[in-house]
Amino acid sequence: MPRLFAARLLGRSLPLLLLLAACRPDTPATTAAPEATAPQQLRDDLGRTLTVPAHPRRIMALAASMTEMLYAVADTATIVARTQVCDYPAAALRKPIINSYPLDLERLVALKPDVVFTTTGITSEADAQRLQELGIPVYYQQYEKVEDIFRGLTDLGRILGRSAQAQRLVDSLRTELRHIQRLPQPHGVSILAITWTDPIYVYGQNTLFTDKIRLAGGQNAVVDKFAQPYPALTREYILKLNPDIVLGGSFGKLDSTFFRLYPELKRTQAYQTRRIYDPTDDLMSRPGPRVVESVKELRGLIWSPPAP
């Protein structure tokens, strides 16, 4: 209805509306239901119980992966800080820095966050307990499968009152992952992913990498499950594994460092075919909303042809 016509119509009807209103019996005014204000009683992935405000307005993460998750789900105006290693997305760089190791408790407390998010292996439970004693709840997440990251994003959406945003993101990521699964899959390609060279630490069987590489069409060369998620391996053990691919640096870099230090490992299939690759570190090490991007990158490396 054109605005001018509506205004004229309202003007003609106004006396009648006022008369009708005066003749109506008194009735209670209808008001919107008050917004829920009861604190949330939560249990995190470590089984710890904590109380979080119904609508957190000041939040932060002590893990770079969770900072990425907050930027993907939360109202970014509520994110009050980042750690010294949080560098993605670019908007995070504009936030104040809280040192995560060692944890700068004083500076963190001064920011008065309603809740702090972190992951296992990043923040000690002793630090978390200290923060909670100071009135700041700490919520842990942990991930063994890609699906755990999707669940984590959903949980963040629920806690922060952003369930719709989180669900749209998770649905999109699952759609991308299903598309990857419909592509031709290689078989039997074993991948050894190195995290440190002296001593040799690798991504073990009980890490998120195992699930990502499975979804990419390969398999973790480390088939045994060690107590530590990132076990130290002997050269003899690696020779026995004889991986098809080694991740951890370019061929030139590892040839002049790792394989110079351990020349016997040049007998592995990966070295013989020069299938030594350097995946994006952030994608490899951060269990966050870019996890499907990591799976796609790993798949591309698996399908890279051996050197002639």
Q: Is 29 part of a structural domain of the chain?
A: no
Q: pLDDT for 95-133, tens place per residue?
A: 999 999 999 999 999 999 999 999 988 999 999 999 999
Please tell me whether residues 246 and 155 are part of one structural domain.
no
Please tell me whether residues 142 and 227 are part of one structural domain.
no
Please tell me whether residues 113 and 67 are part of one structural domain.
yes
Please tell me whether residues 256 and 132 are part of one structural domain.
no
Q: Which of 34-48, 52-66, 234-248 has the lowest mean pLDDT?
A: 34-48
Q: Is 245 part of a structural domain of the chain?
A: yes
Q: pLDDT for 11-51, tens place per residue?
A: 433 333 333 333 343 334 344 444 558 999 999 999 999 99
pTM: 0.85
CA-to-CA separations, 133 to 107, 109, 127, 177, 179, in angstroms, rounded: 16, 11, 10, 41, 46
SS3 291: helix
Please tell me whether residues 215 and 171 are part of one structural domain.
no
Q: Cα separation of 69 and 284, whole Å?
A: 15
Q: Cα separation of 70 and 56, whole Å?
A: 12
Task: Name the domain count of the chain.
Answer: 2
Question: Which residues constitute the domain of residue 249?
Answer: 190-302
CA-to-CA separations, 158 to 37, 42, 74, 163, in angstroms, rounded: 15, 11, 10, 5
**Pairing state between β 40-43 and 49-52:** antiparallel
